[in-house]
Amino acid sequence: MSYSPPTITNVGLTIPSFNDILTYLIAQYQNIYGSATFLGDSSPDYQDISIRALQANDTDQGLQAAYNSFNPQTALGAALDLLGRLIGTARKAASASVANVTLSGTVGTVITNGVVQDVNGNYWNVASPSTIGSGGTVVVPATAQQLGNITANPGDISKIVTPTAGWTAVTNTYAASPGQPVEPDSAYRARLEISQTKPSISLRAGTAAAVAAVAGVTRSVVYENTENYTSSFGFADVDGSGLIVTMLTGYPFDSSMVGAPCSVNGVAGVVSAVGGSTQFTLTTALSGAPLTSVAFFVGDGFELGPAHSITCVVEGGLGANIAQAIYSNRGLGCLVNGTTDVPVIDPSNPTVTMTMRYDVLQYTPIAVDLYVHPLTGYTTAVGNEIVSGVVSYLNSLGIGESVLYSELFRAALTGNSGAGTAASPNPDQPVCSIRSITFGAIASPTTMGTLDIPIDYNFAALGEIANVTLFLV
């Protein structure tokens, strides 16, 4: 391409490349001093022109970065923070991991500003002051000194760093609750998009934005039901008569569903009776029955929960902050559904307390067995990358996303980008053959197999991988 100066058009900012600038400067130099002037790579004049071209290109790149910083889709770092402040949504700061530790020693010993250490060399500040109780122990929280995801498995915290007379031992019975790193640009940018609905496109969207913005919340979703009956969707089995539908995943059924429209395996119908929380009867039999693990919904397939309600499903965050976000943004008069109750004081009338409810995200642990045949070039690093790719896929699933059999093969072959040796570095010369994959949901024990695993409305396979095992065959 020929040289053209930096220009802002209807498609944005365009800048010349380094080669365009270099070619332009060489042409101008020869116009002045003659086309016969020697400008080989080794000539001082060419070196001088190259340096000037590089400087000009660096300036253009800086101009491009400045232009991009005005757009939340392309802004980075501090520029993205500034845009977030204009929108009214700050980046989430890093938080610290917390572990409950058991301090042992002489009854009545007071430990002030105590510090303990785990097997990985991380320091943890013990709640101060802490007094050893009548049984010779006391359980208190310890906070990691380093912010971010500092892990500590049971028994990892066992060293006293600040000796105190009468304090003899420390341990942690349970794993630490991991902290969060500073919110990365990608996650912050995605949250800015939904935060812009907070003013808001709808009350549901505003509630979802407010809950997602709560410090410590890592995943969340808000369902709404505007109907006069309980709505549900998920997967179900249909018996041989084609009339009885038994839910595998979905929101529990109730009698309000009788007469409601539904769809089972893509066929529209009507609920004629409800038999408990997991079964309903159709008015018209489905053909092809029995059917296994087919999609169903009662309502329109998007609404979920009791009649005239919202249901928030949340991972992370403090209950008080989540409840306040729901209270401040929910619709008027609707049922706030969920299994976790948190009281909120009405700011306009301190004598009135309302109960906000939400569901804490639960998990479906997944077990995966990989059967891999090594070929020329296979190494342990390749195997680790295959396992890492599958782990990464399972951890990336959003709330309510099903685990798909075909995606396990894709994840195993592509590996975890940036984590090490690629699982399939050259498709023309494979280093291994993935012979088979079997998997199953551990939460409700199933036989390891190849069927997709549907995840319940308030469940997700997020970080709860019971076991990913690689077998060489």
Is there a domain that residue 177 lies in? no
Q: Within a 10 A sphere around the Cβ of 322, how many other Cβ atoms? A: 25
Task: Tell whether 190 is covered by a domain.
Answer: no
* pLDDT, mean of residues 322-349: 88
Last residue of a domain, one of 68, 84, 113: 68
Residue 87 within a domain: no
Half-sphere exposure of 190 (CA within 13 A, CB side): 9
Altogether, the residues listed in the chain come to a count of 473
- 135, 282: one domain: no
pLDDT tens per residue across span 310-326: 999 988 889 999 999 99
Angstrom distance (rounded) from CA 244 to CA 257: 14
Looking at the DSSP bridge assignments, the partners of residue 403 are 453
pLDDT at 355: 92
Q: Which residue range forms the structural domain that includes residue 450?
A: 363-472
Region of poorest pLDDT, from 76-90, 166-180, 332-346: 76-90
Residue 204 · residue 210 · CB < 8 Å: no
Specify whether 203 is located in the same domain as 350. Answer: yes
Q: Which of 134, 128, 129, 138 is nearest to 107 (CA)?
A: 134
In a domain, 86, yes or no: no
pLDDT tens digit string along 156-208? 999 999 999 999 999 998 888 888 788 888 888 877 876 665 555 678 888 88
Pick the range with the lowest mean pLDDT from 276-280, 287-291, 342-346, 381-385.
381-385
Per-residue pLDDT band for 468 (boundaries 50, 70, 90) equals confident
Mode of pairing for the β-strands spanning 261-264 and 217-225: unpaired
Cβ neighbours around 189 below 10 Å, total: 18
**Residue 127, domain member (yes or no):** yes
Token pair of 390 as six digits: 């599958």
Cis, peptide link before residue 129, omega less than 30° from 0: yes
Residues 467 and 398 in one domain: yes
Nearest to 114, CA basis, from 105, 103, 106, 122: 103
| CB 130, CB 194: distance < 8 Å | no
Tokens of 286: 């489905």
- Looking at the structure, tell me whether residues 312 and 380 fall in a common domain: no
354 and 212 in a single domain? The answer is yes
Give the residue from 257, 273, 298 where a domain finishes: 298
- Which residues does residue 93 pair with via DSSP β-bridges, in sequence order? none
Q: How many CB atoms lie within 10 A of CB 196?
A: 16
User: From CA 203, how far away is CA 208, in angstroms rounded?
Assistant: 8
Distance between CA atoms of 257 and 269, rounded to whole angstroms? 12
Paired with 433 in beta bridges are 373
Q: Residue 310 has what DSSP assignment?
A: E
- At 94, list the tokens: 């890093």
Give the integer Cα–Cα distance in Å for 27 and 17: 16
0.75 exceeded by pTM: no
Q: Does 251 lie in the same domain as 116?
A: no
Distance CA 62, CA 67 (A): 9
Number of domains in the chain: 5
The reply to whether 264 falls in a domain is yes
Query: Who's near 426: CB < 8 A, 6+ residues apart?
Result: none
Amino acid at 76: L
Q: 31-40, 175-184, 233-242, 413-422: which range is least confident on average? A: 413-422
Query: Is residue 101 located within the same domain as residue 44?
Result: no
Q: What is the rounded distance in angstroms from the CA atom of residue 175 to the CA atom of residue 2? A: 62
List, for residues 120-146, the tens digit of each pLDDT value.
999 999 999 999 998 899 999 999 999
- Confidence at residue 300, expressed as pLDDT on a 0 to 100 scale: 84
Confidence label for 213 from pLDDT (cuts 50, 70 and 90): confident
Give whole-number Cα distances, 89 to 69, 192, 210, in Å. 17, 7, 10
pLDDT of residue 420: 41
Last residue in a domain, options 171, 188, 217:
171
User: In percent, how much of the chain has pLDDT > 90?
Assistant: 35
Asked whether residue 202 is assigned to any structural domain, the reply reads yes
Measured CA to CA, the distance from residue 140 to residue 100 in angstroms comes to 5
The model's confidence at residue 418, banded by pLDDT at 50, 70 and 90, is very low
The domain that holds 243 is classified in CATH as 2.40.10
What are the Cα distances from residue 352, in Å, to 224, 324, 339, 347, 349? 25, 14, 22, 9, 6
* 157 in the same domain as 45: no
Check whether residue 220 and residue 321 sit in a common domain: yes
Render the burial of 19-53: b for 16+ CB within 10 Å, e for the rest.
ebbbbbbbeebeeeeeeeeebeeeeeebeebbeeb
Q: Which amino acid is at 278?
A: T
Contact indicator for 299, 231 with CB cutoff of 8 Å: yes
What does the alpha-carbon distance between residue 318 and residue 127 come to, in Å, rounded to a whole number? 19
Mark whether 131 and 34 lie in a shared domain: no
Residues 355 and 400 in one domain: no
Q: Is 88 a domain residue?
A: no
| Residue 55: predicted pLDDT | 93
Bridge partners of residue 99, in order along the sequence: 142
Task: Report d(CA 274, CA 369) in Å as an integer.
Answer: 39
Does 379 share its domain with 277?
Answer: no
